[in-house]
Amino acid sequence: MTQSVGLEMRDNVAILWIDNPPVNALSHHVRAGIVTGLEKASDAGAKAIVLAGKGGTFIAGADIKEFGKPLQEPGLPSVCDTIEATALPVVAAVEGNTLGGGLEVALSCHYRVANAKAKLGLPEVNLGLLPGAGGTQRLPRLLQNPVESITMVSSGRPVSGAKAAEIGLVDKTVDSGTVEAAVALANEIAEQDFENRRLSRVTLEMTDAIAAGFDAAMPTIARKAKGAIAPIRATECVRAAYEIPFNEGMKKERATFMELVVSDQSKALRHIFFAERASAKPPKDVKGDPRVVKKVGIIGAGTMGGGIAMTYAEAGIPVTVLEMTEDALDRGFATMEKNWARGIKSGRITKEGVAERMARLERTTSYDDLADCDLIVEAVFETMAIKKEVFGKLDAVAKKGAVLATNTSYLDINEIAAETSRPADVLGMHYFSPANIMPLLEIVRADETADDALLTALEMAKKTRKTPAIARVGHGFIGNRMLTPYLRQANLLVLEGASPDQVDKALTDFGWAMGPFAVSDLAGLDIGYKSRQDQKLDEHESRIYTAADRLVEAGFLGQKSGAGFYTYDPETRARSENSEATRIVSEVRSELGINTREISDEEIVERTQFALANEGAHVLGEGVAARASDIDVVYNYGYGYPRWRGGPMHYAESVGLKTVAAKISEWSDGAGGVHWTPSDLLMELAESGQSLADWDKENAS
């Protein structure tokens, strides 16, 4: 036995306590401890065994850090087999997180008692895996309804203890005292025959109806997977449970698990699992505690301000929304109510829930009403002069210690902070539209931002269920800055001969949620047009956007005007080619003297993705991002990057930094060289053979 699995005798019942904080993962010493614990329990004369987790949680799964390393025996499948084959009945006391391998352990037990609030699930697909310790074989043998097994395995979504009882996953639920209830059940069944509770012995039969259920489910699973392979492979294994005997099903599951665990997809998904946890932690040099936030002020009730206000109201935090006029407030509040009301229709929220949220919102046209707010987020027009004016006013009214945040997407926050007498209280909280839905929060630490102000922003991210990533000041911070070279390449590819549709399709095939031209149409082509005019691009850069500019000048603003790069069906919003856009593009090509050529999808992917990675490496080299993995978080959570590719930096790493650097050098020496500035950091890493992951370990502050 190991220290991480303790034995406690309560009369005739042995409790094996799993104690491996913080989540009781099934690390090697835990697996070994369970096997030895079962023997010790028997030696101690127990009549039944309860398997329980310390810290109010059962087991959150296999130890993800062990994946990719040589297996140390006993492996989890064999531990589960040992539990199931034990001569004594074993009761799982399921509470807290009972996930992945944790649920597989519970399924190997002969009885399950769950806390009604416990979370039971098989989230392996989120890591590009499938349950690899019998989950795909034992779960369908326990649940009556195959649809429940298919859903749990393919979606990775957990169910509550209460729901688990409804679908037959647990024998009993309690609201408290889970371990005591498990001990009581263990006493009750100690002398009973439990042979039929060994799930490996249950025989399943494939009927026409069940086969039809699998056939019907698969296309939906494939569609929802959006290129991820694990949900499909996992469902195939569940199907096998009905088609082949348990032992053969286990072999199939194991072989599939071994194949997936070394796949690029699983590596990428594991990378992003740890990346999102790292990005939520304060930098090492930051000390202290967050400030207390009881009330939030939002300046602006437009699309961004309204979405941000909704986010805080949803988290139960009172919000005061400031606008210039009552009319603007009316419009903003009506939009928020309408957005929430959509949730009523889809069943996500109740009418009372909407009323509660609306009641948390106060409205005002006077800055004085922000005086009691602990955090004020400005979401006004993206112009330095206006932002400065707002921060000057805030400085006059905000209470001492209030955190003053700007939602700017590009501007210099040091300059904004300098407009106040308290730059230490100022930082960026950059939300993404629609702010109540999009999970990313880019937190911008300005030069003078105080530690506790930064910690407050991180704390608010947690409270409002956002995934944060910290950036330093720099035009466009992490995400928007990298978008420029990405869009530059997309537009160049069109000038050189690809159609917007080909570029979009190549990138959605790669896994992006939307292609760059569809996104531009959605955002409004006039936005980029205006920003280009404000920035006064040089000759090389403005050439690239000649077609896009001409579309705007011809009245094609994107979806809002019914057409942009594409035309949109007014009813369904289905898009099709805009022949006028095609004509404008070819007119521009001729004017610029470009001889078009066939462009491969591979070139589209390489040029756009390597442009992202190159700029990401600049961002990293300049210290705007602390870690490459933070950049990946930003792109996953804010820009629709395919999670199973890990992020633009991880993708570059998976292709090989040497290959990426060689391509970028080739392009920068070629005809389009003016559009490439190879990152020194990227070139150095490629040269030295150091990985981005190692760079992160050595350099992250």
Parallel/antiparallel/unpaired status of strands 575-577 and 566-568: antiparallel
The correct pick among 9, 56, 65, 72 for binding ligand 3HC (CB under 6 A) is 65
Is residue 277 part of the contact set for ligand 3HC (CB under 6 A)?
yes
Q: Which residues contact 106 (CB under 8 A, 6 or more apart)?
A: 51, 58, 59, 92, 94, 98, 112, 120
Q: Least CB distance from residue 273 to ligand 3HC, whole Å?
A: 7
Minimum distance of ligand 3HC from residue 604's CB (angstroms): 34
Regarding 100 and contact with ligand 3HC (CB under 6 A), the answer is: yes
Q: Does 132 bind ligand 3HC (CB under 6 A)?
A: yes
The nearest distance, CB 276 to ligand 3HC, in angstroms, is 9
Q: Which of 13, 14, 23, 329 touches ligand 3HC by CB under 6 A?
A: 23
Interacting positions 137-156 with ligand 3HC (CB under 6 A): none
Cβ proximity of 398 and 412 under 8 Å:
no
User: Which range, of 57-65, 378-386, 565-573, 622-630, touches ligand 3HC by CB under 6 A?
Assistant: 57-65
For ligand 3HC, give the closer residue by CB, 277 or 658.
277
Nearest to 279 by CA among 451, 461, 474, 24: 461
**Chosen residue from 13, 133, 413, 628 binding ligand 3HC by CB under 6 A:** 133
* Residue choice 97, 137, 265, 491 for contact with ligand 3HC (CB under 6 A): 97
- Tell me which of 17, 63, 161, 585 binds ligand 3HC, using CB under 6 A: 63
Nearer to ligand 3HC, 126 or 407 (CB): 126
Q: Which of 131/297 has CB closer to ligand 3HC?
A: 131
| 123 is a contact residue toward ligand 3HC (CB under 6 A) | yes
For residue 149, the tally of other CB atoms under 10 A from its CB is 26
207's CB contacts (< 8 A; 6+ apart) are: none
d(CA 355, CA 223): 35
297 binds ligand 3HC (CB under 6 A): no
Q: Tell which one of 104, 236, 632, 696 touches ligand 3HC (CB under 6 A).
A: 104
At 559 the three-state DSSP class reads helix
Bridge-based pairing state of the strands 119-121 and 13-18? unpaired
* DSSP annotation string for 22-65: TTT-B-HHHHHHHHHHHHHHHHTT-SEEEEEEGGG--B--B-GG
64 sits near ligand 3HC (criterion: CB under 6 A): yes
DSSP tag of 322: E
| Active-site hit among 95, 124, 496, 615 | 124
Part in contact with ligand 3HC (CB under 6 A); list of ranges 20-28, 221-229, 322-330, 400-408: 20-28
The residue among 397, 386, 387 whose CA lies nearest residue 422 is 397
CB 485, min distance to ligand 3HC, A: 32
Given 5, 62, 454, 652, the residue binding ligand 3HC (CB under 6 A):
62
Question: Does residue 293 contact residue 372 with C-beta atoms inside 8 Å?
Answer: no
Three-state DSSP class for 440? Answer: strand
* Nearer CB in complex with ligand 3HC: 23/518: 23
CB of 31 to ligand 3HC, least distance (A): 10
Distance CA 100, CA 59 (A): 8
Q: Does residue number 485 form part of the binding site for ligand 3HC (CB under 6 A)? A: no
What number of other Cβ atoms are within 10 A of residue 95's Cβ? 26
Q: Which of 124, 148, 236, 504 binds ligand 3HC (CB under 6 A)?
A: 124
Shortest Cβ 440–ligand 3HC spacing (Å): 17
Let me know if 104 is a catalytic residue. yes
Q: Please tell me the number of Cα atoms within 13 Å of 542 on its side-chain side.
A: 12
Does 636 participate in binding ligand 3HC (rule CB under 6 A)?
no
Beta bridge partners of 467: 440
Q: Could you give phi then psi for residue 377, rounded to 5 degrees? A: -110, 120
Catalytic residue among 84, 95, 104, 419: 104
> Helix/strand/coil (H, E, C) string of 57-118?
CCECCECHHHCCCCCCCCCHHHHHHHHHHCCCCEEEEECCEEECHHHHHHHHCCEEEEECCC
The residue among 78, 90, 91, 99 whose CA lies nearest residue 23 is: 99
The answer to whether 124 is a known catalytic residue is yes
Query: Per-residue string for binding with ligand 3HC, 327-366, x by CB under 6 A?
Result: ----------------------------------------
The yes or no reply on residue 101 touching ligand 3HC (CB under 6 A) is yes
Under 8 Å CB-to-CB from 591, ≥6 apart: which residues? Answer: 546
Which of 51, 60, 518, 584 lies at the binding interface for ligand 3HC (CB under 6 A)? 60
Q: What is the DSSP letter of 412?
A: -
Residue 375 forms beta bridges with which residues? Answer: 296, 403
Q: What are phi and psi of 565, to 5 degrees?
A: -65, -30
What are 24's strand-pairing partners? none
| Distance, CA of 463 to CA of 465 (rounded, Å) | 6
In the complex, the smallest distance separating the C-beta of residue 228 from ligand 3HC, rounded to whole angstroms, is 15
**By CB under 6 A, residue 127 contacts ligand 3HC:** yes
Min dist. Cβ of residue 101 to ligand 3HC (A): 3
- Identify which of residues 122 and 495 has a Cβ nearer to ligand 3HC in the complex: 122
Task: Confirm or reject binding of residue 131 to ligand 3HC (CB under 6 A).
Answer: yes
Q: Which is nearer to ligand 3HC, 63 or 425 (CB)?
A: 63
Question: Binding to ligand 3HC by residue 25, rule CB under 6 A?
Answer: yes
Q: Does 76 engage in binding with ligand 3HC (CB under 6 A)? A: yes
Q: Please say whether the beta carbons of 94 and 115 come within 8 A.
A: yes
Closest separation between CB of residue 698 and ligand 3HC, Å?
18
Residues that bind ligand 3HC (CB under 6 A): 22-23, 25, 60-65, 76, 97, 99-101, 104, 123-124, 127, 129, 131-133, 135, 277
Which active-site residues does the annotation give? 104, 124
